Amino acid sequence: MTVRYHQQNNQLTPGYSCSRDGIEHGRSFCQSIPGAAIDAAIGQLVVEAMTPLALEVALTVQHELQSRQEEADHLRQQQIERARYEVELARRRYMQVDPDHRLVADSLEAEWNEKLRALTEAQEEYERAREADHAPLSE
């Protein structure tokens, strides 16, 4: 069913029609139902369902979800800080090595590059998680 709005008495009123089969196969519409009475009944059900207890539960759940998101965000930020520390430590080790010790320098440079990749991955994961946390809730 799809909704279509019609002008009636200077007011938009909904109408629901089953049109998918008609559009896909070139047939006439299956059925059409005026929507004003349906919308009023659904609106009444929503109003009845919105009791003070239901609102309190919804707000409590929202606060709990938000606090968990903030906690997870804090943990991800700590992970990035640890990765930054490890990058800086690897950089200092590499900078302090004697250039005449090429094998040691090569391994320290490889370690530094590995830590840089880990930091980049942690930052990208942090951004993905923040976007997912800020996405609207589904059903």
Say how far apart CA 113 and CA 122 lie, in whole Å: 14
Q: Average pLDDT, stretch 11-37?
A: 83
pLDDT at 25: 80
* pLDDT tens per residue across span 29-42: 788 888 888 888 99
* pLDDT tens per residue across span 74-111: 999 999 999 999 999 999 999 999 988 999 999 999 99
pLDDT at 89: 96
Say how far apart CA 117 and CA 126 lie, in whole Å: 14
At 137 the three-state DSSP class reads: coil
DSSP code of 27? -
**pLDDT bucket at 139, cuts 50 / 70 / 90:** low
Q: Domain segments of the chain: what residues?
A: 2-49, 52-134
pTM for the whole thing? Answer: 0.56
Q: Average pLDDT, stretch 42-52?
A: 88
